[in-house]
Amino acid sequence: MSSRRVGDQVVALLAGGGYAEQVVVPAGQTLPVPDGVDLVDAAALPEAVCTAWTNLVDTGRLSRGETLLVHGGSGGVGSVAVQIGAALGARVVATAGGPERAARCRELGASVAVDHRAQDVVAAVREATDGRGADVVLDVLGGGALGDNVRLMATGGRLVVIGLQQGRTGELDLARLMAKRATVTGTTLRSRSVQEKAEVVAAVGEHVWPMVADDRVRPVVHARLPLDEADAAHALLDSGQVFGKVLLVP
């Protein structure tokens, strides 16, 4: 049972379609606005944090001391995943496009940031791990990166696919996957039941909200745009220049 009361300031994990001034959402999918975080900036947290937490911890089983590779460390989910991974005691390797974006990933907690426009990601990850590879890979690329992801995973590695930026299909070397005793899992958050979402939100409230309170995790907001400029917001996202989230405000 949620402890929310009428008048509380909250943020929420919606079922989807959040372009609105008012929404109805199950109480179990809400969290209090963290102390010290602006109400509007706090809106950047729920979906990104819930996605990162459940895929890193529940699915990826990330442990302290392991190596986490975050593809797209400059993205809305990736920028939060880098911070959570570092807060959990993992060694985080992040990819980003361009030296400035890579540098910002390091500022968020990545031990190593790979400029995928100028570097071979597989070689860079293997060099950063002394040839061992990554224990957990959080992947937004999908089919186009499948082969490389298997190559750069450590023995017993876990590849968690949460996006399809490079397509829905790819070639999988099953012999390599078997030799590494590795796993490939695809997940989405939107399709989960109300109960499942409430469980994720509760775990985030218990484990991640304290990280927000002590500034180990913070919202990464690139820009705020008026709600009636949603088209411009999408164009900004498509430009490839966004680092973190773009927020629509009334």
pLDDT tens, position by position, 80-118? 999 999 999 999 999 999 999 999 999 999 999 999 999
Same domain, 58 and 178: yes
Same domain, 148 and 181: yes
| pLDDT tens profile 140-164 | 999 999 999 999 999 999 999 999 9
- For residue 250, being part of any structural domain is answered with no
Upper half-sphere CA count for residue 240 (Cβ side, 13 Å): 5
| CB 44 within 8 Å of CB 244 | yes
Which structural domain range is residue 78 located in? 48-186
Three-state DSSP at 115 gives strand
Q: How far apart are the first and last CA of the chain?
A: 31
Q: Tell me, what amino acid is at 11? A: V
Lowest mean pLDDT among 2-11, 170-179, 202-211, 212-221: 2-11
Q: Please, where are the H alpha helices in 88-193?
A: 99-108, 121-128, 146-152, 174-179
| CB 73 within 8 Å of CB 43 | no
Number of domains in the chain: 2
Above pLDDT 90, what percent of the chain?
Answer: 93
pLDDT band at 19 (very low <50, low <70, confident <90, very high): confident
Of 186, 208, 234, which residue sits at a domain end? Answer: 186
User: Is pLDDT of 1 > 60?
Assistant: no
Write phi, then psi, for 10 (nearest 5 degrees).
Answer: -135, 160
The pTM for the full model equals 0.95
